[in-house]
Structure 1
Amino acid sequence: MSDLLPRPSEREIQRQLLDWMALALPYGSVVHHAANEAAGDPARSKRARAAYYANRRADGVLDGFPDLIVIVPPGKTVLLEVKKHNGRVSPEQVLLHQTINGAGVPVAVVRSVEEASAVLAAQGIPLRQVRL
Structure 2
Amino acid sequence: MSEHQIQVSIISYLDRVLPSTIRAVGVSNNPRSAIAGAKEKARGMRKGFPDILLTGAFHGLLEVKQEGSYLRKEQKEWRDFLASQQVPVAVVRSIEDVRETLNGWGIRTREAA
TM-score, normalization by structure 1: 0.77
- 3-state SS, counterpart of residue 76 of structure 1: coil
SS across alignment from 1:98: helix
Partner of 1:5: none
CA root-mean-square deviation: 1.6
Q: Name the aligned partner's letter for residue 35 of structure 1.
A: S
Deviation sequence 1:98-129 (CA, Å, 0-9, x none) = 10111121110000000011111101100122
Question: What secondary structure sits across from 1:80 in the alignment?
Answer: strand
Q: SS state of the match for residue 94, structure 1?
A: helix
1:32 equivalenced with 2:14 (yes/no): no
1:76-114 CA-partner distances (Å, limit 9, x unpaired): 111000011122210110011110111121110000000
SS in 2 for 1:100: helix
Aligned counterpart, 1:94 = 76
| Larger Rg belongs to | 1
Q: Percent identity?
A: 30
The equivalences for 1:5-84 within 5 A come to 8-37=1-30, 39-41=31-33, 49=34, 51-72=35-56, 75-84=57-66
| Count of aligned positions | 112
Mapped partners of 2:53, 2:36: distance in 1: 24
Q: Which runs of 5+ in 2 are unaligned?
A: none
Give the partner amino acid of 1:18.
Answer: I
Counterpart in the other structure of 1:3: none
